[in-house]
Amino acid sequence: MEEQTTQQIPNRRQRRAMLKQQGILRHLSKLPFLGETRTNFRAKNLETGKQIHSNLTERIEKENADRLEVILNGLKIDWEQRGFNKKEIEMLEEAWALTTIKDKETYREDKKKAKSLRKEAKNLLASRTK
């Protein structure tokens, strides 16, 4: 697959500089604040800003998910080389997911569960290799 290069979206400062250069801000400043034209312009800007933010958030989340998937695949290969079987790798994968993605409400419980899963996988490997 080819990587799609997306054009960088100008930030708020750059967008306002473009509006100023085009003379739009000067024209808007002469209109009443609660007038229909100025209100519509503000609403449109607000909607555009929300859309830009959601697109950026989605892109960052996708990049993070891809990065974590690559790391996890590398760890799986490493665990296979160390001699873990499929069941133990699933346990280690769950433990890794619990420690990598942090949730404020369940952080301590996740940490304890991950520790017990890693310990159980290690014990299963040790009992099998004896």
Categorize the per-residue pLDDT at 96 as very low, low, confident or very high, splitting at 50, 70 and 90.
very high
The packing angle between helices 36-82 and 86-100, to 10°, is 140
Q: How far apart are CA 108 and CA 83, in angstroms?
A: 29
DSSP state, 84? -
Q: How far apart are CA 71 and CA 73, in angstroms?
A: 5
The model's pLDDT over 13-26, given as tens digits with 9 standing for 90+, comes to 999 999 999 999 99
The model's pLDDT over 46-77, given as tens digits with 9 standing for 90+, comes to 999 999 999 999 999 999 999 999 999 999 99
DSSP state, 103? -
69-81: burial string, b at 16+ Cβ within 10 Å, e else = eeeeeeebeebee
- pTM (global) more than 0.75: no
**pLDDT at site 93:** 94
**pLDDT at site 8:** 80
